[in-house]
Amino acid sequence: MLASVFHAHSCREAGNRNNKATMKIEKRIFGQMPDGEKVHIFRLTNKNGMIADITNYGCIVTSLKIPGRSGEVSDVVLGFETLEEYLGDHPYFGAVVGRYANRIAGARFELDGRVYNLAANNGNNHLHGGERGLDKRLWDYEIVQSAEGSEMLLLSYLSPDGEEGYPGNLAVQVIFDLNNDNELRIIFRAETDKATPVNLAHHGYFNLTGGREPVTGHELRVNASRYTEVNEELIPTGRLLAVEGTAMDFRDMKPVGRDISDVAGGYDHNYVIDDTGGKLNKAAVLYDPSSGRQLEVLTTQPGVQLYTGNFLDGSIAGKDDIVYGKHWGLCLETQHFPDSPNQASFPDVILRPGEEYLETAIYRFSVR
């Protein structure tokens, strides 16, 4: 399964790939697992001074350093400095989550006449793959070259049949590619030997101020005229509601905090991206007026989860001893819709033998 990394890389590319990265990927030991197995961290650097640090534990982007308007380089993602902190309890900082990102109602689904029971690790529901999802696994690693000759980080994991209750042996690859257009490209691939739901997402918490202020002062645009209505447990009702005339409307740039008090608990909602159809589309734009940093998010997926760090409560201190209070980070998780295995009207998430799961997310940074 998943024999060719190069096919995946070229399948849904967009933009100019002649602007190759000039630096080699650096590797060092990050720590070790409780059983003694070594964990590595990889540094991807481009010619503009952008640096991405990624570990093969959970495919976590531990650091993303971006220049601002004044030239100052700051780390724009929440996270930790040590592996030990990531091995502890934290809210999925920077990880790849799955097998199924987001929530599955009642921690169960029916597929081909059989009911599968999953871990109820979010109240009555299943969240981000269960007790030990992909974010808590040690992945194999390989440094590979694209057709253009730049180095990419390839992380792979074989999730065995029955792991966390899911059917099928699922072979997963995640490719990280940093280019000189200040794009961190993440390509998700998977194949299975038994029908199974798959929904992979990058769960980065962004703060374009470098963690100095909450994200409520950021400005955001989301390319979505509808969102999936949810109940009090944040499970979709099946209805797609219009954002027009509501606090959910981000079709034009506005401060994240402007209407947040009108949304019970804060934003934690899946937006239905306009103009999808499996091609690469711009899902969102995030801008910090103080530093001038801007983030554009592109995806082949039909949805993006906007989460404004509502459950951060000041109990976690991250890098540089910054205390992560409420709304200290903002997630833009490109994904399929929550609870799709139980929602027949939502886009299909079932991967079957002989098919390939292939999705792309691009995080493009600039200054203005």
Active site amino acids: 203, 333
Is residue 359 packed enough to be buried (19+ CB in 10 Å), middle (13-18) or exposed (0-12)? buried
Q: Tell me which long-range contacts 281-286 makes (C-beta under 8 A, separation of at least 24).
A: 281/223, 282/223, 283/222, 283/223, 283/224, 283/332, 283/334, 284/220, 284/221, 284/222, 284/223, 284/250, 284/332, 285/220, 285/221, 285/253, 286/206, 286/208, 286/218, 286/219, 286/220, 286/330, 286/332
Prior bond of 99 cis (ω within 30°) = yes
- Spatial distance between the Cα atoms of 203 and 134, rounded to a whole number of angstroms: 12
CA nearest neighbour of 107 among 9, 14, 252, 235 = 235
Strands 219-222 and 281-287: antiparallel
Contacts of 347 (CB under 8 A, 6+ apart): 302, 336, 337, 340
CA nearest neighbour of 8 among 268, 190, 179 = 190
